[in-house]
Amino acid sequence: MLVVSPFEFTLTLLLLTTGTVSARSSRNFAWIVGKWRSEFSGKIFWPTVPTMTYGEEVVIDLAPRAKSTDNQFYNFSARAWSHTTKDFFHNEWGFLSMDDSGNATLMTAGNNGFTTYEVGPVSSSKMVLTLRDIGRIAFSRDLPVRDLRRTFIKHDNDYLEQILEMRTATHPSKGYIEHARVMYTKQKS
């Protein structure tokens, strides 16, 4: 288990991303940019918790860029809530970027005490990110996550699907188990 301070996470983010993203290559994110929302289509599955339905809003938008650099980032935010009770579940904030070879990097910090560094290929309508590193605060109540795969699939101009698969300290011993799946509708600007 890796425990990092907010300062260490920010420093790592800067070191990993400085000088690796060109504005030219980041055009491959055009299909995912926008506000995506699901009121009730999200489903959570896990062997140790009851299956439940949730809503979620994901916003991916262009981050400001300094004139002195060719680096381009996208802001990433996700907010989830219980469909039945409307109780808040969690938030994630971070940055999405792409290197010149076409691999995307998503770095997030969540209010559940986790920070993630995920990397993977991007096509014209799909992005598959796998966990490279994870940090968590020492008092997090969740099981330690050992591996994670996050897939975004754009089905057409109006629908985006996210599938989250993972492995924790207790389930499964190898590979992944699907943990969450949600279908979003693109919101009008």
pLDDT tens readout for residues 113-129: 889 999 999 999 999 99
Residue 97 lies in a domain: yes
Assigned domain for 19 exists: yes
Task: Please indicate, yes or no, if residue 56 is contained in any of the structural domains.
Answer: yes
What pLDDT was estimated at residue 1? 47
Neighbour-count burial of 97, counting CB atoms closer than 10 A to its CB (0-12 exposed, 13-18 middle, 19+ buried): buried
Question: 3-state DSSP call for residue 171?
Answer: coil
Instruction: Please write the tens of the pLDDT for every residue from 52-68.
Output: 999 999 999 999 987 88
Burial 23-60 (b: 16+ CB within 10 A, else e): eebbebbebbebbbbbeebbbbebeeeeebebbbbbbb
DSSP-derived letter for residue 112 is T
Confidence of residue 26 (pLDDT cuts 50, 70, 90): low
Whether residue 177 is contained in a domain is answered as yes
Answer yes or no: is 103 within a domain: yes
DSSP, collapsed to helix, strand or coil, labels residue 29 as helix
Higher pLDDT, 18 or 124: 124
Residue 121 included in any domain = yes
Kindly report the CATH number assigned to the domain that includes residue 118. 2.40.128.20
Averaged pLDDT, 137-164: 90
In a domain, 17, yes or no: yes
How many domains in the chain? 1
Structural domain for 100, as ranges: 6-63+71-186
Considering the domain boundaries, does residue 1 fall inside one?
Answer: no
Query: What CA–CA distance (Å, rounded) separates 94 from 75?
Result: 6
pLDDT tier at 24 (50, 70, 90 boundaries)? very low
- Contacts of 85-88 spanning 24+ positions with Cβ under 8 A: none
* Nearest-angstrom CA–CA distance, 97 and 119: 10
Please tell me the least confidently modeled range out of 155-159, 168-172, 178-182.
168-172
